[in-house]
């Protein structure tokens, strides 16, 4: 009985940790700067988390099938570069480029399944392909996002600031797609026990290709949103997304193997990671300590996650 | 009664005197807050840049010129991270943001937001393309052209050797073009050889040594900084007469120059970009807040060491470092006055 209660307690902790970390960071910011507690403030604090949420959802799809995507950062950069070069002048060609990019992702997924290749190797290789394509399109930083995209990202949403609406939307989308749908069950099955899924008669190649295609689609969305915010692109604009998106998924309660992922947690994780990297502006920390402190915050947050996972195993 | 009137008059006189002394910062900036957004702190230039900022702004805060001037450095040298940092600064209510940017374009969205919130944005070194920001760019062309001008002012004639930087890098190309422009202006010079020294003493020495035996007498050497000492060593090893080598403000170059000067009255000149350019940007921001009219695009003045300033420059430079210069409010006021 008591062990069951302990188990339940740990599970609650597991689920609320991302929200808890986010609330703590937000509380610290609001305490230091009450001005941030407003429509305008929350927008400024969190709007750069919007593209990261979608990049993290892309990473979550890949982690759900027990793979790892080391190319999502450069892929988002490429999507942003297309958005700032081809999209305003030749929209049809830009759409074609996006479709080709998503198809390349799907192909990578099929290849990883059929040839039994390690995803880390394939995606690491792809990351250089994406970077190369982005540099070809945009040899020096520049370009201009189309007006409709920039104004869409600057739109003043009613009632709540845009990052909150987007977080709700992304979380709901992910939840329906991965946690509630039949497709989601299959995806998590592929991550946890591929043999069982294959024995029931599903084509693992097609399934993995589909998961990768979805990840590519999320990546394209992230790139477009990012370039809409910055209005101009750089071939390296999102390179940090690769590692930050992994951290967001893990922080949100996902695991590297076994098909355990949480879309809601991932979205909250992306918000937390965005805030963790920049909120030191609010605590006047001496310049010499700033860089180290940022790392320390991440270690503490991810360390808590590891500690809770350990508790779960014991309980 | 009389005495009180005199006192009041005296106070007015003192007040107007003070106002005359600092005309350019007429509007009071004592309540203003200026923040530095920096993307990277991992090399000696950036470290010196941050130190200069801290030193100069601390004094400015103590003298109540501005209220606050903290610096913030991002951990990963990434544009999205710096954009978030700048947005946080908007929330913090800074009146001006000085930026050394990770990308010339990727911060534009955040910088536009800052401008829209009425914040003055001054970018330097790593400048940004967003039109609402001020840019203090480095004039690398000028760094090339001034070398040839200096040789001409010395009355030198004949063959030049050009030592270039890292091939394919924008800075190398700019300095090279400046040297080309200088030679066009002074037809008495002919570039007889060109090597890539990669801004590194050892590489410059090796490359110059390799080409030297094929060259006629060289009168002067145009360089890009970080390579002058290596060039001198190559000439010495080959037993050739020492040409006039333009130096790049590095400590080892200046040390060598001093030795040569003391031994044989060797004369040359040295120029580069000072990490203290952050303090230049700081005062520009302060002047704008004070109501000064400032053009959106400015060229950062080069820091030059001459025969007369050599001893002082060397004394104030750490071994392994570059000559630094911290700008004062007066320097920037004078600079802006000259632009008009």
pLDDT of res. B16:
40
Which of A275-279, B88-92, B122-126, B222-226 is predicted with the least confidence, judged by mean pLDDT?
A: A275-279
> B78 and A239: CB-CB below 8 Å?
yes
Q: Which residues of A touch B80 (CB under 8 A)?
A: 48, 51-52, 226, 237-238, 240-241
Rounded Cα distance between B163 and B266, Å, is 20
Percent of chain B with pLDDT over 70: 91
ipTM entry: 0.82
Rounded Cα distance between A182 and A111, Å, is 24
State pLDDT tens for residues B8-29: 444 444 444 444 344 444 568 8
Q: Which residues of A touch B76 (CB under 8 A)?
A: 240, 277
pLDDT of res. B6:
45
- Neighbour order of strands in the sheet with B244-245: B189-196, B158-164, B220-222, B244-245
pLDDT of res. A280:
75
Q: Which of residues 270-299 of A touch B (CB under 8 A)?
A: 274, 277-282, 284, 287, 290-291, 294-295
pLDDT of res. B169:
66
pLDDT of res. B172:
83
Average pLDDT over residues B39-53: 82
Helix ranges (DSSP H) in B225-295: 228-238, 251-264, 277-289
State pLDDT tens for residues A84-111: 999 999 999 999 999 999 999 999 999 9
A253 Cα to chain B: minimum distance (Å): 24
Element (H, E) at B124: strand B120-124
pLDDT of res. B112:
93
Q: How far apart are the first and last CA of chain B?
A: 48
Q: Name the phi and psi angles at A281, rounded to 5.
A: -55, -25
β-bridge pairing B270-272 and B220-222: unpaired
Rounded Cα distance between B181 and B200, Å, is 24
pLDDT of res. A2:
60
pLDDT band at B168 (very low <50, low <70, confident <90, very high): low
pLDDT of res. B48:
84
What is chain A's pLDDT, residue by residue, as a tens digit (315 residues)? 467 777 777 777 777 888 888 898 899 888 888 888 888 888 888 989 999 999 999 999 999 999 999 999 999 999 999 999 999 999 999 999 999 999 999 999 999 999 999 999 999 999 999 999 998 998 878 888 998 998 999 888 899 999 999 999 999 999 999 989 989 999 898 988 888 888 988 889 999 999 999 999 999 999 999 999 998 888 888 988 998 899 899 888 888 888 889 999 999 999 988 888 777 778 777 767 777 777 787 788 778 878 887 887 776
Nearest CA in chain A to B42: A291
Q: How far apart are the first and last CA of chain A?
A: 12
Rounded Cα distance between B60 and B69, Å, is 9
State pLDDT tens for residues B310-324: 999 888 888 878 888
Task: Tally A–B CB contacts below 8 A.
Answer: 111
Question: Does B89 reach chain A within 8 Å, measured CB to CB?
Answer: yes
pLDDT of res. B274:
85
Q: Which pairs count as long-range contacts for A171-179, CB under 8 Å and 24+ apart, including other chains? A: A171/A263, A171/A264, A171/A267, A171/A268, A173/A57, A173/A263, A174/A57, A174/A60, A174/A263, A174/A264, A174/A266, A174/A267, A175/A263, A175/A264, A177/A214, A177/A263, A178/A60, A178/A61, A178/A64, A178/A261, A178/A263, A179/A262, A179/A263
Question: Does B159 reach chain A within 8 Å, measured CB to CB?
Answer: no
A99 Cα to chain B: minimum distance (Å): 25
β-bridge pairing B120-124 and B220-222: unpaired
State pLDDT tens for residues B256-267: 999 999 999 999
β-bridge pairing B244-245 and B34-38: unpaired
β-bridge pairing B134-138 and B297-300: parallel
A264 Cα to chain B: minimum distance (Å): 23
CB A210 within 8 A of CB A216: no
Question: Which of A73, A232, A289 would you mutate first to test chain B, the one with the most B CBs within 10 A?
Answer: A232
> B80 and A238: CB-CB below 8 Å?
yes
pLDDT of res. A303:
83
Average pLDDT over residues B31-57: 86
| Identical topology for domains B28-138+274-300+325-339 and B140-246 | yes
Rounded Cα distance between B81 and A177, Å, is 30
CB A142 within 8 A of CB B129: yes
B22 Cα to chain A: minimum distance (Å): 31
Nearest CA in chain A to B85: A278
pLDDT of res. B25:
45
pLDDT at B3 over 60: no
Question: Does B297 reach chain A within 8 Å, measured CB to CB?
Answer: no
> B104 and A141: CB-CB below 8 Å?
yes
Please determine, looking at this structure, whether the domain spanning B28-138+274-300+325-339 carries the CATH number 1.10.8.60. no
3-class SS at B195? strand
Q: Which residues of A touch B104 (CB under 8 A)?
A: 141-142, 234
> A231 and B87: CB-CB below 8 Å?
no
- Going from N- to C-terminal start, the domains of chain B cover 28-138+274-300+325-339, 140-246
3-class SS at A270? helix
> B113 and A44: CB-CB below 8 Å?
yes
Q: Walk me through the domains of chain A, giving residue ranges and CATH numbers.
A: 17-314 (1.10.3470)
Fold of B140-246: Rossmann fold (3.40.50)
A134 Cα to chain B: minimum distance (Å): 14
pLDDT at B1 over 50: no
Rounded Cα distance between B167 and A89, Å, is 33
């Amino acid at each position: 009985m008591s062990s069951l209660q302990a188990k339940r307690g740990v599970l609650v902790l597991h689920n609320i940790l991302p929200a808890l970390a986010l609330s703590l960071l937000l509380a610290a910011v609001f305490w230091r700067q009450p001005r941030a507690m407003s429509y305008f403030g929350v927008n400024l604090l969190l709007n750069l988390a919007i593209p990261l949420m979608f990049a993290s959802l892309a990473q979550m799809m890949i982690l759900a099938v027990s793979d790892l995507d080391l190319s999502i950062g450069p892929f988002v950069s490429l999507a942003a570069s297309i958005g700032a070069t081809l999209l305003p002048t030749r929209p049809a060609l830009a759409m074609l480029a996006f479709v080709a990019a998503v198809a390349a992702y799907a192909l990578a997924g099929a290849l990883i399944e059929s040839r039994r290749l390690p995803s880390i190797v394939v995606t690491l290789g792809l990351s250089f392909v994406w970077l190369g394509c982005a540099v070809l399109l945009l040899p020096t930083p520049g370009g201009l996002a189309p007006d409709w995209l920039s104004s869409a990202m600057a739109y003043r949403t009613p009632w709540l600031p845009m990052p909150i609406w987007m977080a709700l939307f992304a979380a709901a989308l992910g939840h329906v797609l991965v946690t509630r749908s039949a497709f989601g069950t299959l995806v998590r099955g592929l991550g946890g026990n591929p043999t069982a899924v294959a024995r029931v008669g599903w084509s693992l190649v097609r399934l993995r290709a589909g998961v990768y295609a979805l990840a590519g689609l999320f990546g394209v969305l992230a790139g477009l949103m990012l370039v809409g915010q910055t209005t101009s692109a750089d071939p390296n604009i999102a390179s940090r997304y690769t590692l930050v998106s992994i951290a967001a998924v893990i922080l949100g309660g996902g695991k590297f193997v076994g098909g355990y992922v949480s879309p809601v947690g991932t979205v909250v994780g992306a918000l937390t990671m965005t805030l963790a990297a920049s909120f030191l502006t609010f605590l006047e920390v001496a310049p010499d300590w700033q860089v180290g402190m940022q790392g320390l915050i991440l270690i503490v947050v991810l360390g808590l996650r590891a500690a809770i996972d350990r508790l779960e195993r014991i309980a | 009664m009389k005495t009180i009137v005199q006192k009041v008059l005296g106070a007015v006189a003192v007040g107007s005197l003070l106002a005359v002394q600092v005309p350019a910062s007429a509007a009071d900036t004592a309540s203003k807050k200026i923040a530095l957004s920096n993307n990277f702190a991992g090399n000696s230039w950036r470290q010196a840049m941050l130190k200069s900022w801290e030193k100069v702004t601390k004094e400015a805060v103590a003298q109540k010129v501005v209220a606050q001037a903290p610096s913030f450095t991002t951990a990963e040298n990434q544009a999205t991270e710096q954009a978030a940092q700048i947005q946080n600064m908007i929330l913090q209510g800074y009146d001006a943001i000085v930026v050394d940017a990770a990308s010339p374009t990727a911060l534009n969205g955040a910088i536009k937001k800052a401008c829209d919130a009425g914040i003055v944005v001054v970018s330097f070194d790593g400048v940004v393309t967003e039109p609402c920001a001020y840019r203090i760019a480095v004039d690398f062309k000028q760094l090339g052209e001034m070398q040839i001008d200096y040789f001409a002012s010395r009355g030198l004639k004949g063959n030049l050797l050009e030592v270039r930087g890292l091939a394919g890098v924008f800075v190398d190309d700019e300095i090279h073009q400046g040297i080309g422009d200088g030679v066009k202006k002074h037809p008495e010079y002919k570039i007889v050889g060109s090597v890539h020294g990669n801004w590194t003493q050892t590489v410059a020495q090796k490359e110059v040594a390799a080409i030297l035996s094929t060259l006629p007498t060289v009168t002067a050497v145009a360089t890009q900084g970080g390579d002058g000492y290596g060039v001198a060593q190559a000439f010495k090893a080959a037993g050739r007469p020492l040409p006039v080598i333009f130096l790049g403000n590095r400590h080892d170059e200046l040390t060598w120059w001093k030795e040569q000067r003391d031994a044989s009255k060797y004369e040359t000149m040295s120029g580069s970009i000072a990490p203290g350019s952050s303090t230049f940007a700081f005062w520009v921001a302060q002047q704008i807040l004070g109501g000064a009219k400032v053009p959106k695009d400015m060229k950062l003045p080069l820091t030059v060491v001459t025969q007369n300033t050599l001893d002082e420059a060397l004394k104030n430079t750490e071994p392994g470092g570059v000559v630094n210069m911290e700008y004062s409010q007066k320097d920037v006021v004078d600079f802006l006055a000259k632009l008009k």
